[in-house]
Chains A and B, each alone.
Chain A
Amino acid sequence: MSETMNHPLLEAVNLHKTYRMGSVDVPVLQGSSMQLYPGEWVAVLGASGSGKSTLLHLLGGLDTPDPQGGEVLFKGRNVSKLARGARNRYRNREVGLVFQFYHLLPELNVLENTLLPGMVGAGIRADQERAHDLLNTFGLDHRLTHRPRELSGGERQRVAIARALLNKPEVLLADEPTGNLDEDTGAEILELLKQEHEAGLTILMVTHDRTIAELADRVVMLHHGRVEQDQSLSVQ
């Protein structure tokens, strides 16, 4: 583990990102850098508006940094400079995204939502077995044909995580995965993430909650678009 730790899996290098709100340019990220090493669980901690979601979107290849605004490197390759097709593949295969509001497709049932990345990626019969395994593990085997609206918040988030993991990505990027859940349910989700982490999944989790962040191996503090503090917390 320590050998691979030498090369970051995912790396943000001096990222700048500015959003235009009407006629005003709002700088969100102003030179953020961080590294995510294989097998790590890193929490990005920051107040709302600190730019932590934007950082996650850039790392996930959903958005690109400003011109000359730094780069996102995945295994040393610049994700922002990838061709469109390659960037789609990156989002599909290399990273899995989980959001605060689950973002399931309401017209599809649990199994179909889970299979979606497989269908998008391969365009042919997706890996049903993998989807069933994941949903079994997450305790959703009795919910396969249910629509998202018939599920509880915790169940929805578990489906979202199953979807994110379908194509066996190396990194899971989670944006406030418990932000919309009560404490107990949130704890269940975190327990689930912990299990996956122990099974070898690299996780980057964005949160504003220090107690949740403390579950991670390492916490990156984001303040006004800059990384203020990058520290390893003592794991319990």
Chain B
Amino acid sequence: MSEAAAGYDPRHVYHFLLTSRYLTSRIIPLLAIAAVALCVALVIVVVSVMTGFLDMIKDSGRTLMGDVMISYPVTGIPWYEDLIEEVEAMPQVKAAAPMVETIGVLRMPYPRGGVKEPKMVQIWGVDPERFAKVTTFGDTLMWSEVPESAQYEVAHDQAYGPIIKTLDRAQRIAILRASDWEDTTGMSDSQVANLAGALTQPEMYEHLRYVMLNGGDALPKILQDDQRIAIQQVIDLEREGKLPIEGDLVADGLSISRNGRPGIVAGIHVSDANFRDSNGEYQIGGNGHWWLPRYEGALTTIPVDATGGTLEPETVIMPFVNEFSSGVFAVDEIRVMIPLETAQVMMHLDAAEIVDEMDPSQVIGVEPARATMILVRGRDDIDPLDLREHVRVAYQRFVDKIGMNHPGRSSPPVEGINPSLRILTWEEQNAAFIGPVEKERALMRTLFSIVYVVCAALVLAIFWAIVYEKTRDIGILRSIGASRPGIVWIFLLYGLVVGIIGAVIGLGLGWLITANVNGIHGLLAQPPGWLAWSLAGLTVITLLWTILRLFTGRILPIMLGIMIASILGLLTALVFILDAQGGVVIWDPAVYYFSEVPNSIDLPAAIITMIGAVIFSLIGAAIPAARAADVDPVKALRYE
């Protein structure tokens, strides 16, 4: 019996042997594994997406606003640099930045023609350098160079732009009239001039180019010789494909200006020409034609005076210098950034001299510049709620000192007196939104704990069937001396292995789905043609196979064939219908706040899910295992 002492070989312990054989030679355990895997994958996908969603919301606090903000809308906080000094003196604070927030109307460069679309926007006047220390503004900027698709257009802008600038009013009117643009017929000169003012620079040079190439006789009257020569040079270069491309249209680094001129950095979804393709990548409309930094926008806002009344609207025309993508759709579709000073001027929140009412030439003081919001970024280890209390203390200190530092007018708002003054964490500011999401996640967790029960019930049902099928085997094993615990152990081991394999496959599947959730969503939104056709092909193949099986006279393959063909046929029809209707959008960025579905797996939740699945598989297997042990061997042996 030296072999017995030779050791423990799992292949020769009948539990392991039978468990592995039952697993590998039957279809039923595959069903059990598939059930567990699907349950695990389902929970992992849902919990990961929900957690990712919540994390994105919480992260976006820092991305967009920092941790804590002091806000006093519309009229703003005077002497805000003193306040920032006070706040930044706090050891818990990393940085603070002033900003002015208001709303306005932005005239977009589209569509072509004299009537452009206005868009309501939220204007943030920021000092980019300081703003980037509080938020991740720098990381959200879209363009560090001219995108590939827009380079051709930008080269034209750069070639024609300087020439367009030399055109006077009369020349512009003449060009529009000469370009066979039917809109201009029957218009007075001033109307045509207005139209010319509304057109974008690219539109203007398109007309000019048209006139150059087709105008013939009209040209000498319209253009001066040097202008015509310049245009001809550009056209020649264009024909030879030698138009130089120099990408200096994007603002340098963080600055919100170009060539010293204040500009606009718009959210990526402010321009309706931008869209996301099915891969989730941003695309510029019209093959780069509508790349926003090619154009200028007219931004209009209504300033408010010290008493709370409105003043005449202020309009500033500024070039678009960049776009930003914060990932939060609700922000990206409405927010534009402009330099702080520009915003202060537009809102009449800039520093101004105070003159004597009797004698306006007498300057009696200075009205300080104001900021409607101070954003505060805490050190990484500080809880936002603690930070808020420190900021509140700093604000009180600022108010206490203000009378001493700046005696006289322009006292800052005080908590308790000015109800609009708020010092809040980002989460508090957005509680109306974050609260429901947190509740939703809790609800999801509760609902999905039911999935475990479903998982256990499935394993129980499947194992019940397995035990039923194996009743005779149990009788045989008992007849050769296997003990009841031995029989229990076979099925528990079986449940354990099914649970573990199912959980691992479920993790893989869940990870695969979660990681590709945006691609899958894209597939639904724009089902590709090959998918529909290959599904249709599979349907036909299955149908042919089924028809061939009709001659064998067996029901199962025919039934299976019909079922699979029906499912494939339905899927094919679904894909074709989706295609015809332009797809379904489940994750509508307009509804879900973020423009992308969160796609990182929640590993702790995934591990808990896997452990849960194994435990519940064991629970599901335990009852059939106990039943197996109680099988009367005599009855089991009679069982055929």
Contacts and interface: CB of A to CB of B under 8 A. Distances in A.
Contact of A112 (B8, B17, B479, B481): B17
A120 B486 contact: yes
Contacts, number: 89
A1 interface: no
Contact of A127 (B3, B478, B482, B633): B3
Interface in A101-129: 101, 103-108, 112, 115-117, 119-129
Interface of B is mostly: helix
A10 B578 CA distance: 78
Contacts of A85: 483
A125 B4 CA distance: 5
A69 to B, nearest CB: 15
A122 B479 contact: no
B637 A99 contact: yes
A84 interface: yes
A116 B479 contact: no
Nearest to B486: A120
Nearest to B477: A120
Contacts of A104: 476
Given A57-B634, A97-B479, A116 B14 contact: yes
Contacts of B18: 105, 107-108
A62 interface: yes
B25 interface: yes
B472 interface: yes
B487 to A, nearest CB: 10
Contacts of B9: 124-125
B480 A92 contact: yes
B634 A62 contact: yes
Nearest to A93: B481
User: Which has the most chain A C-beta neighbours within 10 Å: B25, B473, B477, B637?
Assistant: B637
B476 A103 contact: yes
B479 A91 contact: yes
Contacts of A163: 480
A117 B481 contact: yes
B559 to A, nearest CB: 25
A117 B480 CA distance: 6
B13 A123 contact: yes
B12 interface: yes
Interface string A79-93: 000001100111111
Given A62-B633, A107-B22, A108-B17, A125 B481 contact: no
A112 B6 CA distance: 19
A196 interface: no
Interface string B597-640: 00000000000000000000000000000000000111001001
Interface of B: 1, 3-4, 6-9, 12-14, 17-18, 21-22, 25-26, 472-473, 475-484, 486, 632-634, 637, 640
22 contacts: A60-B479, A62-B478, A62-B637, A63-B633, A91-B481, A92-B480, A99-B637, A101-B640, A103-B637, A104-B476, A107-B25, A108-B21, A119-B13, A120-B486, A124-B4, A124-B9, A125-B4, A125-B7, A125-B8, A126-B12, A127-B1, A129-B3
The 3 closest A-B pairs by CB, nearest first: A92-B481, A107-B21, A91-B481
